[in-house]
Amino acid sequence: MAARSIASLTISFGMVSIPVKLYSATEASRAISFNMLHKACGSRLKQQYVCAKEEVVVPREDTVKGYEFAKDQYVMFTPEELKALEETGTHSAEITEFVPLKTVDPVYFDKAYYLGPDKGGAKPYALLARALRESGRCALGRWAARGKQYIVMIRPIEDLVEGLVMQQLLYAGEVRALRDLDIPKTEVKPAELKLAQQLIEQQSSDKFDPAAYKDEVRERIEAAVQKKIEGKEIATAEEAPAGGAQVIDLMEALRASLEKAEARKPAKRAEPARPAEQAAKPAARKSAKK
């Protein structure tokens, strides 16, 4: 089934404008969700808002939004006031700069969209995709939608054809700094580093293959749901007791990991002998008997 676009945009940089179509890169519909039910009769429950002060159910039409500026102190906003604060949606994403792709830490990555060329945009679209790929850079810009303003990164992607991905990025204030963690400075011995590098080399692949990883939890849930539909019982396993952190010898753990990885490697099959070699073997046996 052909993908369906969710919006049309214009990507602009300098005096160049590229009409594109926006496509969701992920499928939220594949997520398994459960509903809250009444345990006694199995009916679905409705969500209600209860006033903490008066302990009464408040209808949705009697609710307003507020911001807590101090403990239990709020300023209230009307729907009209909140609407006025929203960013006006645009049908364009203006590129403001180009930076090396490797300098954008994936920790800033948020939602991703595929971009496809719209009518009249095939040539500039292909040009931007090729230029970004060969330069090793990505484009950064801004995009307004759903009342918000987003930082977006447009980067090249290749899957049989050259294309573009528009990645929403988090703002700096939305990402915690690693330096806020209590990570002690620790000496790494050369022998330990060498073993770790050998282990990495043994388990390395040329590229990431997402199809090699299966969502085992999803498969387990789907199987359980099907059993329930068929009226079957589900066996539940007892949870293993959580133990404390195990103190191990790092060098021994690395050596054991290398041996385990080596044992998992498939044995090399002996190559079949060539015709000349096969003919030489009987002759050699005859000489040995003499």
- Which residue ranges form the domains of the chain, and what is each CATH number? 7-27+91-174 (2.40.290.10)
Residue 281 burial (10 A CB sphere; 0-12, 13-18, 19+): exposed
Q: Smallest Cα–Cα separation from 265: which of 191, 210, 204, 196?
A: 204
Residue bearing the bigger pLDDT, 240 or 132: 132
**CB-based burial of residue 128 (10 Å sphere; 0-12 exposed, 13-18 middle, 19+ buried)?**
buried
Tell me the per-residue pLDDT of 204-252, one tens digit each, with 9 for 90 and over.
Answer: 889 888 889 888 888 888 888 888 888 888 877 766 666 555 556 877 8
- Do the strands 16-24 and 109-117 form a parallel or antiparallel pair, or are they unpaired? antiparallel
Q: What span, in angstroms and rounded, lies between the C-alpha atoms of 95 and 117?
A: 17
How does pLDDT run across 240-258, given as a tens digit for each residue?
A: 666 555 556 877 888 888 8
Q: List strand residue ranges (DSSP E) for 101-219, in order.
A: 109-117, 137-145, 148-159, 161-169
